[in-house]
Structure 1
Amino acid sequence: MALSTGQPTPLRGESTTLNDFPDWIYLLREFEALYRHGSAGGSAKIRTHRKAVRDALSKSIAGNPDIVDRPPETKPVIAHLSRALDLGERAAMQGMARALREVQGRLTWEYGYEKVPKSLINKFAYAEILGPRGPVPSDILTLGFVLFAPRTTYPQHSHAGIEESYISVAGAWSENNAAVYAPGSLILNGSGDEHRITTGDIDPCLLAYAWVGPKDALNAPEMKFTPKRKAP
């Protein structure tokens, strides 16, 4: 994913800090629970990443930042959101799905590109929750959601300077055609790791994501698409 460059505007009024917005706090607590209680599958790298996310999230929440005003915005793929949340509430990720449903009318869904590939216009969008451009600002961590329609392939790409994890909330998906991942699964991509996402044929796929990296990388992430290889 790439991020847009527009900066959100601080809210004006008496209640402006995170502690005044319980729905955002509850949603962030669901992220904290995922990265605290989920399994690392015996992987030292995933264990280290989970701790880095928890530590940065705890620091961000403790700072009680001013909530910023991001006008709600939808994209065509949001027609699949209700189905994704319904699926999430039936399975292991019901807490996250329910918390997300409570704020769905306040989400800013976007593409992150000045020119969106035609193949993706109706197929995906993401919403940042915490981060440099989220309603909950942070310059040490980015958290959000990405929604894919059924039968979507997000092209092979990599991120420089950013360690990225996805946790399935709803729907089946694969990365690099290596396996099928169910709700609750965590996939870790290190800086520069190339990955491609493919979703199932019937249902949408909703993923929670976390980005950890230097402030400059999080504030101006670079995404590099892998050129298609010519057939021999």
Structure 2
Amino acid sequence: MDAATRTLSDCPDWRYLLREFYEMYRTGPAGGSKVIAGHQRRVRERIGKVITENPAVIAREAEDKPVTAHLRRALDQGRRERTESMIRAIEAISPELSWLYGYEKVPRGLAKKYAFAEFAGPHGPIQTQQLILGIVLFAPQTTYPAHAHDGLTESYLTLSGAVSENDEGVFAPGSMIFNPPGRKHRLTTSSNEPTLLAYAWEGPAGKLSDQKMAFTKQRRSST
């Protein structure tokens, strides 16, 4: 079959990956938060719609970035965690991934420490306007500058390693980081191990297809 005409049902590894996302958003705790529980429900519902719609799966040219030298270690570490099933699903499609930066200008030093790969969305292999799913990989001792997402609700699932957001806690494998639309957030990773996060963005289709990635500019002190 021509790769350009494949649909989700023709690509079982990609379909299994969506099922893993669905299960993580079904079984992951919401910590008593109705807002987070609502986000989890919407992500599940949208994944269900993607599977039912059986969208096209477009082969992307595989592309690495310097940080992908840490991917094997991140996956190995994830096999020891309760995220193991998701790790195996990612490994199955990892040779097909196109790793990207998402910014026109990447801050000095970050180009060697960060990249993401989109799985599903307007620009992903799985073509959909329902939501955006993917993974982001950080090298050890990385600071990902403050940024926000206009009109989109975002969550990260920690798959391996550890990460803090805005210095307000440490998120170990299996935990979720939740960011409502417009919330500025800055990520830092541990000193000795890479960190692998899965992410989901949900919101209006127009925001999903035209999201502008930009870091928050730091104001210079007047003193």
**TM-score of the aligned structures, taking structure 2 as reference length:** 0.96
Amino acid at match of 1:171: G
State how many pairs are aligned: 222
Give the secondary structure class of the aligned counterpart of 1:69.
Answer: coil
Deviations 1:70-126 (A, max 9, x none): 111100000000000001111110001111011110001000122322221100000
Counterpart check, 1:105 vs 2:95: yes
The match for 2:105 is 115
The match for 1:92 is 82
Q: Report if the CA contact (8 A) 1:162-1:217 is conserved.
A: yes
Aligned equivalents of 1:210, 1:86: Cα separation in 2:
23
RMSD: 1.4
The match for 1:160 is 150
Q: 1:30-49 counterparts in 2 under 5 A?
A: 30-49=20-39
The match for 2:193 is 203
Q: Report if the CA contact (8 A) 1:69-1:135 is conserved.
A: yes
Q: 1:137-152 counterparts in 2 under 5 A?
A: 137-152=127-142
Superposition deviation, residue 14 in structure 1: 9.1
Aligned equivalents of 2:3, 2:159: Cα separation in 1:
34
Is the alpha carbon distance of 1:225 and 1:13 closer, same or farther for their aligned partners in structure 2, counting shifts above 3 Å?
Answer: closer
- Aligned-pair identity (%): 50
Counterpart check, 1:56 vs 2:46: yes
The match for 1:173 is 163
Q: 1:19-34 counterparts in 2 under 5 A?
A: 19-34=9-24
Superposition deviation, residue 225 in structure 1: 2.4
Give the secondary structure class of the aligned counterpart of 1:34.
Answer: helix
Q: Report if the CA contact (8 A) 2:103-2:213 is conserved.
A: no
Is the alpha carbon distance of 1:226 and 1:24 closer, same or farther for their aligned partners in structure 2, counting shifts above 3 Å?
Answer: same
Amino acid at match of 2:67: V
The match for 1:7 is none
The match for 1:6 is none
Give the secondary structure class of the aligned counterpart of 1:223.
Answer: coil
The match for 1:226 is 216
Is the alpha carbon distance of 1:142 and 1:116 closer, same or farther for their aligned partners in structure 2, counting shifts above 3 Å?
Answer: same
Aligned equivalents of 1:12, 1:114: Cα separation in 2:
33
The match for 1:74 is 64
Unpaired stretches in structure 1, ≥5 consecutive residues: 1-10
The match for 1:131 is 121
Counterpart check, 1:215 vs 2:205: yes
Deviations 1:113-171 (A, max 9, x none): 22322221100000000100111111120000000000000001111111000000000
Amino acid at match of 2:164: S
Runs ≥4 in structure 1, deviation > 6 angstroms? Answer: none
